[in-house]
Amino acid sequence: MFFKLNKIPILVIKLFITVGLLYWLYSYADSDSIKRSLILVGSTQVLVATSLHVGVFLLGGVRWWLLLRHTGVSVPFRKILPSYYLGVFSNNFLPTSMGGDVIRVIHLKLRGLSAKALVGSAMVDRIIGLTAVVVMGTASVVLSPDIRLGENSKIFMLIFTAAVFVTLWFLLTPAFIGLVEKLAQRYRHTRIRKALLEIIAICYSYRSTKKLILAAFGVALVMQGLAIWIYYYLGASIGIELSPMTYYTIIPIVFLATNIPLSIGGLGIREGALVALLTSVNIDTQLAITLSLLFLFVLWLSSVPGAAVMAFGAGKSLGRGDPNR
């Protein structure tokens, strides 16, 4: 009870930050200008964008399912997808953009699957997704003719990307897992720390599945690319004239900013980052705000199926999966 009460002030602070960011951002909005822009968007375009975003979520479910199978959990994709989609829907309302990961893990844990396998695969899934964002954003910034960065800035971004890969490589080295095993032995009588170390060991086990990691990384790149194209498609529909390459440069930064745990579901941070980046490339502020609203609507609409999962509850047991739960 103390733990839950201790979290309330943090939640309240994040709620105030979310409301403050949204108020600050949309205080610059001209309702008449936004209405004129939205009139240009037809229901067919919204439907297409929403359908494409549903496709992004489906690919995300496939990626996690593939990673989960490596842990020994053998469950059909159709049984995993509802829990994944519940996490997607929950992301809109939880204090961090990673809160949905916790929800999907709990949902499947209640249905009898191994908690350690679920958490380990979800962690690897998240790391692969963030790495794909960094790689795509860096490549676009370096290659885009529309973004005029100095050589020093481009070199810094390349070094940063290389550092990400070096860090991931180190976490998969025998030396690191040896340290984890020693700590696991030392804390074998402490439940929480032992469980955490065992989850890290599960993450390390993916080191032997290079083809699986590459496949998951490829799916992540397709997901990011499709989500960015949705921004481009919606932007073009309201008259924003930017090349696709520019979107592929700035939107990964929006994705990374959304993961900063300062607001509810990244709300306000995502929209503020988008408006700031679009205005930095000379896009009208009202058009930028309109695009942020339009994408937010598509995002929420495409996540609605997750609400149905919430309405029907946890469902039947799927089996125990890994017996070392």
Return the domain boundaries, the chain: 40-311
Mean pLDDT of all residues in 28-48:
82
Contact call for residues 302 and 50 (beta carbons, < 8 A) = yes
Alpha-helical regions (H) of 27-42? 31-39
pLDDT at 175: 62
Cα angle 225-168-131, degrees, rounded to a multiple of 5: 10
| Spatial separation of the C-alpha atoms in residues 256 and 157, rounded to whole Å | 14
Would you say the pTM of this structure is higher than 0.85?
A: no
pLDDT at 54 over 90: yes
Contact call for residues 69 and 125 (beta carbons, < 8 A) = no
Q: Provide, rounded to the nearest whole percent, the portion of the chain with pLDDT above 70.
A: 67
Q: Provide, rounded to the nearest whole percent, the portion of the chain with pLDDT above 90.
A: 25
Task: For residue 18, give both structure tokens.
Answer: 């979310």
Task: For residue 125, give both structure tokens.
Answer: 């899934």
Nearby residues of 11 by Cβ (< 8 Å), 6 or more positions away = 95
Mean pLDDT of all residues in 17-39:
72
| Spatial separation of the C-alpha atoms in residues 241 and 76, rounded to whole Å | 43
Residue in 260, 263, 212 with CA at minimum distance from that of residue 25? 263
| Spatial separation of the C-alpha atoms in residues 81 and 58, rounded to whole Å | 8
Q: What is the pLDDT of residues 167-201, one digit of tens each?
A: 666 666 666 556 656 665 665 666 666 667 777 77
pLDDT at 269 over 60: yes
- HSE of 58 in the Cβ direction (CA atoms, 13 Å)? 9
| Spatial separation of the C-alpha atoms in residues 262 and 88, rounded to whole Å | 18
Q: How far is CA 54 from the centre of its chain?
A: 14
